Amino acid sequence: MAKVLLKYKEAAVKEIALDKESTTIGRKPDNDIVIDNQAVSGHHASITMEGDRLVLEDLGSLNGTFVNGQKISKTELFNGDVILIGVHTLNVTSEKNRSQETKGFAVRGRSMDETMVIAPDDQKKIIAAADKNLPEPLGGFVVLEGSTQQKEYELKERVSAIGKEDGSAIKLKGLFAPKLAAMVNRRKEGYFITPAGGKELKVNGKIIDRRCDLKDGDLVEVAGLKLQFYLKE
- Binding residues for other proteins, rule: CB under 8 A, are 105, 107-110, 112-120, 123, 126-127, 129-130, 134, 157-161, 165-169, 180, 183, 185, 188, 194, 196-197
Residue 70 vs 111, nearer CB to other proteins = 111
How is residue 108 annotated by DSSP? Answer: B
The Cα 159–Cα 179 span in angstroms is 16
If the CB atoms of residues 64 and 190 are measured against other proteins, the closer one turns out to be 190
29 — phi, psi (to 5°)? -70, -10
Closest CB to other proteins among residues 70, 115:
115
What does the chain come to in residues?
233
Phi, psi of 13 (to 5 degrees): -95, -55
Q: How far is the CB of 30 from other proteins (least distance, A)?
A: 29
Total Cβ atoms within 10 A of residue 138: 14
What is the number of other CB atoms lying within 10 angstroms of the CB of residue 228?
Answer: 16
Cβ within 8 Å of residue 45, ≥6 positions away: 24, 25, 26, 56, 57, 58, 59, 61, 65, 83, 85
Query: Of 7 and 179, which has the nearer Cβ to other proteins?
Result: 179
Nearer to other proteins (CB atom), residue 36 or residue 50: 50
